[in-house]
Amino acid sequence: MHVKKRDEKEQLTKKQIILVAIISVFIFLLVYTPHLANPYPIHIDEWRHITEAIKIRQGNMPSGMAGAESGLHVFLAFISFFIKDIVLFYKFFPAIWAVVSAVTLFFITNKLTKNFTVSVFSMLFFASIKSNVNVLGIWFFTPLTFSIPFIFLYIYLFTEGVQKQNKKMILTSLLIMIILVPTHSISFLFSVPFLIIYALTHYRYLLKEYKFFSIFLIIPLIGVLFFAYLMDKTYKQAFLTLTNLLNFKYGFGVVELNNSFFEIYSAIGYILAILGFIYIVSNKQRFKRYLAYVLWPVSVLIMIFFFRLTGFSPLSPYQRNFYYFALSLPFLSALGVFIILKYLRIKTSKIKDTETKERVYTALKIILIILVIFLAFMSYFSIPKNIKLYKTIDENNYETLIFLKTLEIPEETKIMAPAAFSTALFPITNNEAVGTIFFYGNKTAVKEFFEPKNITNDNCKTKNNLIKEHSVSYIVSEKEINCSWQMIFNITNNTVYKVY
């Protein structure tokens, strides 16, 4: 690949730094946009991560599957020491981390290509990757999001380290992989197939340094030890259970969809990525240099179609593979832009008058850039109806939760409230709910309590039995219930009763 190269030691110019800063601000504002209408965490996963972070601060380290992503929870627990209210601050995390990820990708691409244009467009195409509640994405701050800059880093460090026979780079990539094991292990596992293939293309170096590369066996060892600790199992039981769990079968996702590839990336992005892909594989030297960035999308795409054919996906689930595929594309799409610019330069070079030649090229360049950016972001906020954003709580809910926080609620009791409301209960009030939407408590009891047929005076006995069974001290209801409980708070769509 013959790109315009700079000396390794050459620094970015002031103009280039300013442009990267402007793009970073654009990415921050773009990712923050969904929070303009919702100042609270958007996804139920985000509420869970806040819950686990608070529990860690209280000295309760998570166990079971709740601890499988404790790396993020420890990070949030640490950050919470420096911010007043983690719930209200959480809306900034996705935008901040999107910028961190984009800048990481910029510097990695810049190291790979020594080409500023490709690096900048990699940032822009990364920002253009869409988000939704099924596939997730950079609109949410989850272990997947948290892992993105680390994914870019360990893939770059490992492949460059192997190619350049640089043990320091390889060891650094190993350290990042180890960090991901208790944070979001599948953000490492998805890459195992293509990293192994990449390493095997350098088999002479692997054979020569087989003792050195054997240290990578520490990753599955740590994984088994960590899982055995979380699940309180023997190492043999942990290994067997993990082997089964890492075959992600149909039904792993809360909602299983035959996702469209246009849900996550733009048509222009795909077209340019194909162009970049062809550009790499059409030249032996380029193919060798950027082999990892060819293997990445191909291997993940194979896993996506393998799941669609068989109903199971080894190492990483279908929904996450869908997003990992999208993460492989910005670099290729940026290469596509570079190739078109290079083609325009060649065509305009035939113009004899130097001044006219530069003007024509500049005009075509500006038109291309504007057109590509417009098409890349044109459908950015277009989300299928069945996976649109939702509100867990609104302002009235938040006000009710703040009221509950002021009460002295016995620790051994719980609060009966609708499942969505209950999802935000512990993060804001530190009080336990009978059941939340998905992760905690008994949602069946909540559903039974608030079923339409039970919102009548005739069903007070059923409700009181549930109150007794689940040690309920307070009830939050969207409708008033006349069951002789003491009403202590009332606001639009929220009424609080004291029942113990």
Tens digits of residue pLDDT in 39-77: 999 999 999 999 999 999 988 887 777 778 899 999 999
- Taking only the tens place, the pLDDT of each residue in 189-235 is 999 999 999 999 999 999 999 999 999 999 989 988 888 888 778 88
Place of tokens 């996506």: 304
Measured CA to CA, the distance from residue 210 to residue 197 in angstroms comes to: 16
Token representation of residue 116: 């500023």
- Listed in sequence order, the DSSP H helices in 58-92 are 70-79, 86-89
User: How confident is the model over 13-24, as pLDDT tens digits?
Assistant: 999 999 999 999
Please name the helix (run of DSSP H) or strand (run of DSSP E) that holds residue 44, with its range, or none: helix 44-57
Whether residue 8 has pLDDT greater than 50 = no
Determine the straight-line distance between the first and last CA of the chain, rounded to whole angstroms.
Answer: 73
Quote the pTM value.
0.92
d(CA 78, CA 86): 11
Q: How many CA atoms lie within 13 A of 118 on its CB side?
A: 25
Q: Given a cut of 80, is residue 479 above it in pLDDT?
A: yes
Q: Assess contact for 183 and 71: CB atoms under 8 A.
A: yes
Tell me, what DSSP letter sits at residue 432?
-
- Residue 353 has a CB neighbour count (10 Å cut-off) of 9
What are the residues facing 415 on neighbouring strands? 433, 474
Per-residue pLDDT of 123-171, as tens digits, reads: 999 999 999 888 889 999 999 999 999 999 999 999 999 999 999 999 9
Secondary structure (3-state) at 1: coil
Give Cα separations from 54 to 85, 95, 410 (angstroms): 11, 22, 19
Contact between residue 498 and residue 485 where contact means Cβ atoms under 8 Å apart = yes
Enter the tokens of residue 31: 């990712």
| Dist. CA 195–CA 299, nearest whole Å | 10
Reported as a single tens digit per residue, the pLDDT across 424-462 is: 999 999 999 999 988 888 989 999 898 866 444 558 888
H or E element, residue 200: helix 192-200
pLDDT tens, 299-343? 999 999 999 898 888 889 988 999 999 999 999 999 999 999 999
Judge whether residue 373 has pLDDT over 90: yes
* Inter-residue contact 132 to 387 (CB < 8 Å): yes
226-270 pLDDT per residue, tens: 888 887 788 888 788 788 778 888 767 666 677 889 999 999 999
Pairing mode, if any, of strands 472-477 and 494-498?
Answer: antiparallel
Give the pLDDT confidence score for residue 253 in this predicted structure: 64
Q: Is 315 left (phi over 0), alpha (psi -120 to 50) or beta?
A: left
